Chain A
Amino acid sequence: MAELLEMKSITKVYPNGIVANYKVDFSLEEGEIHAVVGENGAGKSTLMKILFGMHSPEEGDIFLRGEKIELASSNKAIEKGIGMVHQHFMLVPSLTVAENIVLGIEPKRSFLFDKEKAIKITEELAKKYNLKVDPRALVKDIPVGLKQKVEILKALLRGAKILILDEPTAVLTPQETGELFRELKVLKEKGHTIIFISHKLKEVKALCDRLTVMRNGRNVGVHQVSDVTEEDISRLMVGRDVILKVEKGTALPKETILQVKKIKQKNQFGQTVLNNVSFSLKAGEILGIAGVEGNGQRELVEVLTGLLNLTSGEIYVKGNLINNYSIKAIRDLNISHIPEDRMTYGVAEKMSIENNLIADKYDKEPYSKKGILNIKHIKKKTVEQVEEFRIKCNSPLQEVKMLSGGNIQKVVVAREFSSDPELLIADQPTRGIDVGATEFIRKRIIHLRDQGAGVLLVSADLNEVMELSDRLVVFFNGEIYAYFSDTSNLTEEELGLYMLGVKRQNNEIIRGAIYEEQ
């Protein structure tokens, strides 16, 4: 195959002094799907941002078909046929899907923006690539999976021949991932070249032709995917063997800590998103909630944590009816929450790691006394937590947004775990983060359980819910479709049938999710 693109000896140093890329060589062959793998913070995203003209490197050159190109802006990259689908969505929430897709290359009718044409363009494009979107919907109203599709369509409309996908499956359900892979293979057949940034090794094996492994800002090897096993890749990435299986002893459940009784929830469009959901959770156990995203899990977490008002039903935590509790009052019951969307609910991205770590406890002793912050104690605790949770940073005073996704998640986890919660609500706790960090966070969740906390684990990652959960419920269409009191003999296939709503257990078994009151 012909060499399409070459990046030679790229070095990028961020203003804060972090060397994100050091003398990285990267090459791409025409018509391949090329994986770039590496742990969070290994410099994958930076390298791709350079290729997309968003950052300019301190050193190094880029050649397209043997010709040296200057990518001073993303505009230039688009001109050269390079498109990027970002990890954090680059969409304008209050604009429609169609408006987002044509932004920058708007169709015109005389000097006015031609809305109908934009909708038509979107519909045609969506049809061509079989990516179903509603062109008239506002982006703020559509789920994550659809936003991803909008992003891909955006790049395709701009004639992207080289498509960079920055961890595209991190936000997708298993079904959507399968769909995406089929679409990417079609694109490949049509002559598009795809760069696939990921740390899901299964996906790399299933989809890609070659892979480049990055570690610590350096390129540590290029391989044919068929020549290496998943274990090989993970060894290359982290320089050690990653135990993807998490060691876990038997749970020792104690008193009931959370009771959810017949809750119903309607969303802003009046749709029922939670229908008659009941379950309970004891201290010292992990209750998993499996399901394809968008089946009520998010709303469940939001009513439990006080982000949403409950439409009807009752929620008890340690015997307290918390329906009308404020978020703060709920947290004061010693409940921690790892939110699904870390950038919106997890951190204040422009504040320091230190400030983010104390966000839930700055007003409590010994972090502050009589309204004055105890800086000395805060500094000490922060340093401890950065070490304990292996947050990779220059200093605790660094802005959170300068960190990689996995390290941002570690900041969230560090904060939520350090208040010794009795109940942890973990929503997609390891989404979009690397193998090492995933393993670390999973171990911490089990550790927390062993210390006697109740854990409600919501995850679209089948491995995760199956590995971690002591008991498991499956959500479909806002209802519980299945309950398993023991997950050890459960297979992915069986779980999948319930997740997709193909099968449903009878009500008697589902009632098992509720502990009878003593």
Chain B
Amino acid sequence: MDKFIAIIFSVSFGYAVLRVTTPLIFAAMGALISDKAGVINIGLEGIMLISALTGVVVSAYTQSAFLGLLMAVIAGSLTGMAMAYFALNLKTDIILSGIAINLFGGGGTIFALYLVAHDKGISSSLKSLVLPKIDIPIIDQIPVLSEIISGQNILTYIALLSVVFVYILVYKTPLGLQIRAVGENEDAADSVGVSVRKIKYIALILSGAFAGFGGAYMSMAYVSWFSKNMTVGRGFIALAAEAMGGSTPFGTLVACFVFGSAEALSNSLQSLRVPTEFVQMIPYVVTVLGLVLYSSRKTSQIRKKIGSRR
């Protein structure tokens, strides 16, 4: 127990929380934007995998981490656009499109990996690059805080900034107003000449771009390689975080940290003599508990609001 507490209150645990939360934040922001436009992107998991592999391959061939990141984000955006095409032009169900992208991302990346790296599991034969870590001036002078906040990967800071970006985009810009209008009553948006299709395209492309950042982080920052199914459900946890965060950017950020902490804890506990299977379960159990809490709170709110008798 002492060891357990020591782990939680260690500086390295704080550092780890930020580190593991980063991809969740990206993916959850992707979920949020698509949800606001009424086309929830279930395909985040698949897009992250596609982008993660793209980043590794491009950085290995160009020897530029930046180009790797750029192409990962573009790959994510294009996948988001493909989903939009399926759902909006070909009229497939958005949920089914997302599932299809997830299955494609899972299998397609292994296939592509085999073509470029001649391995079905890991990309270690490719000399891919990682994105730089950054020390934040001033903060890196403060004890404790510096060890947690400073020296993180550049994408971690971008992830935190992206929350502010999404907040401004959704609540403070004309585009955001249109996105919310389309998500809530697309007939209303249509009736005033807002192109519903265009807005949904934009939302899904942005959503894909965010997932692209998350994917790039996985293979070019979190670790320095691509391995099959390396996102292990983060795309889905992000969807849960978005729901739990009440579809607001900062609420979602908090939810991401809850899930991120659970994951960091499970990573740390592996050093103790706790069965790994149990430890690895923690983030997912927390996700389920979180969603149960969230939905029971939400239903009681709704009941209170409408004054229903049950």
Contact = CB atoms under 8 A, between A and B. Distances in A.
Interface of A: 54, 73-75, 78-79, 84, 86, 88-95, 99-100, 103-106, 108, 111-113, 154, 158, 268, 306-309, 324-327
A326 B309 contact: yes
A75 B195 contact: yes
Given A84-B191, A103-B178, A93 B310 contact: no
B184 A94 contact: yes
A95 B193 contact: no
Interface in B259-283: none
Nearest to A324: B309
Given A103-B178, A112-B172, A86 B308 contact: no
Contacts of B137: none
A103 B181 contact: yes
B67 interface: no
B309 A306 contact: yes
Given A103-B192, A103-B194, A113-B177, A92 B309 contact: no
Contacts of B93: none
B143 interface: no
B310 A326 contact: yes
Nearest to A101: B192
Nearest to B187: A90
B172 to A, nearest CB: 5
A89 B185 CA distance: 10
Given A90-B190, A90-B191, A309-B307, 19 more contacts: A74-B191, A78-B192, A78-B193, A86-B191, A89-B188, A90-B192, A92-B181, A92-B188, A93-B185, A95-B177, A95-B184, A104-B194, A105-B192, A113-B174, A113-B176, A113-B177, A154-B192, A324-B309, A325-B309
Contacts of A324: 309
Contact of A327 (B174, B193, B309): B309
Contacts of A94: 180, 184
Contacts of B187: 88, 90
A347 to B, nearest CB: 17
Interface of B: 168, 172-174, 176-178, 180-181, 184-185, 187-195, 305-310
A396 B193 CA distance: 34
A325 B309 CA distance: 7
A396 B307 CA distance: 35
Given A73-B193, A78-B193, A103-B192, A108 B308 contact: no
A345 B308 CA distance: 14
A103 B309 contact: no
Nearest to B192: A104
B89 to A, nearest CB: 16
Given A92-B188, A306-B309, A103 B172 contact: no
A19 B283 CA distance: 56
Contacts of B176: 113
Given A92-B185, A94-B180, A103-B181, A54 B190 contact: yes
B307 A103 contact: no
29 contacts: A74-B190, A74-B193, A75-B195, A86-B191, A90-B185, A90-B190, A91-B188, A92-B181, A92-B185, A92-B189, A93-B185, A94-B180, A95-B180, A100-B188, A103-B178, A103-B181, A103-B188, A103-B192, A103-B194, A104-B178, A108-B174, A111-B173, A112-B168, A113-B174, A113-B177, A268-B305, A325-B309, A326-B309, A327-B309
Contacts of B306: 307-308
Contacts of A54: 190-191
A75 B177 CA distance: 18
A-B residue pairs, 10 tightest by C-beta = A75-B193, A106-B174, A90-B191, A309-B307, A104-B192, A90-B188, A104-B194, A92-B181, A92-B185, A78-B193
Nearest to A265: B307
Contacts of A306: 309
Nearest to A306: B309
Contacts of B178: 103-104, 106
Nearest to B176: A113
Contacts of A111: 173
A279 B178 CA distance: 48
Contacts of B195: 73, 75
Nearest to A308: B307
A404 to B, nearest CB: 17
Nearest to B183: A92
B86 to A, nearest CB: 21
A111 B168 CA distance: 10
Contacts of A158: 192-193
A66 to B, nearest CB: 25
Best-surrounded residue of A74, A86, A99, A113 (most CB of chain B within 10 A)? A113
Contacts of A78: 192-193
A307 B307 CA distance: 7
Nearest to A78: B193
Contacts of A93: 184-185
Contacts of B177: 95, 99, 103, 106, 113
Contacts of B305: 268
A498 B110 CA distance: 77
Contacts of A103: 177-178, 181, 188-189, 192, 194
A111 B173 CA distance: 7
A91 B187 CA distance: 8
Nearest to B174: A106
A154 B194 CA distance: 13
A75 to B, nearest CB: 4
B169 to A, nearest CB: 10
Contacts of A326: 309-310
